[in-house]
Structure 1
């Protein structure tokens, strides 16, 4: 499957879509989903391939650099995912240390602020 980046710019009630790497490909859609589907179809038509073999990454161009706010949101989401992963690893490490110290599952749950059942699940999933 080939992936193409398409640029979508708001024009009145429509998203106007172009594909920079394929000059001459232009389409539009009223909704974001419609614009993405129309871009997929336009690219497939230009390349004479089945639309199922085309993937489109639709990138918004917004007034006053609104796309910067979207990029900031994505960066925040990436940081959140990393923090969640770090918390999960820290939780497993803490459970392993408590277990090694002979602390009961119920006490470990109380210390860590989670249920003893969750301690058991995480303890069973720990590799070390």
Structure 2
């Protein structure tokens, strides 16, 4: 079993709240291996799940990821929705930065850095970072 990892190095785990602990069942392990652990907090439970995978497969923790979801469907859906929204926001932010940089380069060809900053509603220092002289 040593060194066996999933194709994409992701192990899925389901956490169920039982009294004061999260009990975690780890999926995607090679046949014959059972991974169950617990933690008092969500963070501790996720860390313990990663420890179990690393110990059972004898692989370093940095070589894989454990994606843990609550067994409660409403909680799991809320997490998935929030993660998707966060990913979309990060993509939108990246697009906004790229658009601001393009605008800064265009504006500073015909206006001062200070004026470009005023036009875009940002500081002239930010414009200078986005469109350094000679770019």
| Same fold, TM-score > 0.5, yes or no | yes
Query: Which residue of 83, 93, 97 corresponds with 2:92?
Result: 83
Query: Which residue of 121, 127, 133 corresponds with 1:119?
Result: 127
- Structure 1 distance, partners of 2:93, 2:23, is 37
Q: Does 2:122 align with 1:109?
A: no
- The unaligned stretches of length 5 or more in structure 2 are none
Secondary structure of the residue that 1:21 maps to in structure 2?
coil
Moved more, 81-90 or 27-36: 27-36
Task: Name the CA shift for 1:56/1:8 in 2 (closer, same or farther; >3 Å).
Answer: farther
- The unaligned stretches of length 5 or more in structure 1 are none
Partner of 2:45: 35
Structure 2 length-normalised TM: 0.76
Aligned residue pair count: 125
Larger helix percent: 1
Shift of 1:66: 1.4
Shift of 1:18: 1.0
Shift of 1:40: 2.8
Structure 1 length-normalised TM: 0.80
Task: Name the CA shift for 1:77/1:52 in 2 (closer, same or farther; >3 Å).
Answer: closer
Shift of 1:68: 0.5
Moved segments of 4+, more than 4 Å: 50-54
- Structure 1 distance, partners of 2:27, 2:56, is 13
